[in-house]
Amino acid sequence: MRADISPRTKVALYGVMCVLLIPFVFPTWWMVTSSLKPISDIFAFPPQLVPQSYDWTTYSKVFELQPFVQQYWNSAYIAAVVTVGTMIISSMAGYAFARIRFPYANAVFMIVLLGLLIPSEVTIVPLFQMFLKAGMVNTHWPLILVPIFGAPSVFATFVMRQFFVTLPAELEEAARVDGLGRFKIFTRIALPLAKPALASVAIFTFLHSWNLFLEPIVFLSSAEMFTLPQALTQYTDAYGGPMWNIQLAAATLTALPVLIVFVIAQKQFVEGLAHTGLKG
C-alpha cells in the first residue's frame, strides 16, 4: 500500500510470513522425509527433521500391497477425461449463454445454475441407485459422467460465461460479414481468445477430480478400480490401523508430481484462479 517500507518493518513482515508459512510447508516436508525413514524412526523422539537413516524398501511395498500403478493410471486418466470433457461442455454452454440470443435463455440459465445450489453429496443416494440399475457400479463411468455433465461443471460454465460476456461484439460482427457460421465463430474466434478462462477451468476441474473421495468410495469396490485418494487409505495393518510409512510413501508419490507441475507453472495457476469468479 505504501511506497516506502522502513527496513525494520520489512524484517518484521518477513518474520511474520516465515512463521505463518510453517503449517503450509512443513506437512509436505514431513510427509516426504518421514516416508524415507525406517519404521522405527518415524515416531522417534526428538523428531528427526531430516532423516538420519534411509529405508527405500517402503516405496517398493507401496507397489506390492496394492496395484498402485493401475490406481495411479485410474486417477490420471479419469482426471484427464473429466478435464477435457468439462472444458468442451462448459465453454459451449458458457458461450451460448453469453453471446447467443435464443428463446428461454434466461430460464435455461436459471435451471443450469441450480447445479450450483445442489452439491453432489445431496444426490449421491439416487445417483448410486441410477448407476446400479445401469450396471455401472464399480466402473469409472460415475466418476466421469457426473462431473462432466452434472453439478460440478456448472461452475465451469459460469466462469466461461463471465469471460465470453466481455468479448467485444465487433469481433463477431466482422466474422459474420466474412460469412462464418456460429460454430466457426465459436471455434475460430471466441475459443482461442478464451485461453486464460479455459486454463483456470482446466486447473480447478483437474484438482476436483483428482481429489474426489466420497464418490469413489461409494461407487468403487475392487482394488484395481480404486482411485488414488481411496487407495491411500487402504494401506492398513491387520487391525485396520494405518501403516504410516507406506501411507506416507504413497501420499508422497500422489502429491509430488502435481506439486512439481504447480511450481513450474505457478504463475498460470495462481493468476488463472484469481481470474475465476472475480468479475461477477
Partner 1 sequence: MAVAQENARPEGRSSSPFWTIARRDSLAGFLFIAPQLIGIVVFVLIPLGLVFWYSLHEWNVLANTFTYTGAQNYRMLMEDENLLEVLGATAIFSAGLVIFNLSLALLLAVLLNQKLAGIAVFRTLFFSPVVVSLVAWTIVWGFLLQKNGGINGMLLTFGIEGPNWLREETTAMISVIVVQVFKNVGLNMILFLAALQGVPKELYEAARIDGAPAFKQFRRITLPLISPTILLTSIITIVGSLQVFAQIAVLTQGGPGLSTTVLVYYLYQQAFQFHFFGYGSTLSILLFAIVAILTFAQWQMRKRIVFYES
Distance (Å, rounded) from C-alpha 19 to C-alpha 135?
Answer: 52
CB of 192 to partner 1, least distance (A): 17
Distance (Å, rounded) from C-alpha 74 to C-alpha 155?
Answer: 24
Distance (Å, rounded) from C-alpha 117 to C-alpha 91?
Answer: 20
CB of 267 to partner 1, least distance (A): 8
Distance (Å, rounded) from C-alpha 5 to C-alpha 59?
Answer: 48
**C-beta of 67 vs 182, nearer to partner 1:** 182
CB of 75 to partner 1, least distance (A): 9
- Please give the span between the terminal C-alpha atoms of the chain, in angstroms, as a whole number: 25
**C-beta of 173 vs 224, nearer to partner 1:** 173
**C-beta of 59 vs 244, nearer to partner 1:** 244
CB of 163 to partner 1, least distance (A): 13
Nearest-10 crossing angle of helices 68-99, 57-65: 70
**C-beta of 121 vs 224, nearer to partner 1:** 121
Locus of grid cell 479455459: 198
Q: With contact defined as beta carbons under 8 Å apart, do 180 and 190 qualify?
A: no
Query: What residues contact 231, with CB distance under 8 A and at least 6 apart?
Result: 66, 68, 71, 223, 250
CB of 66 to partner 1, least distance (A): 14
**C-beta of 2 vs 192, nearer to partner 1:** 2
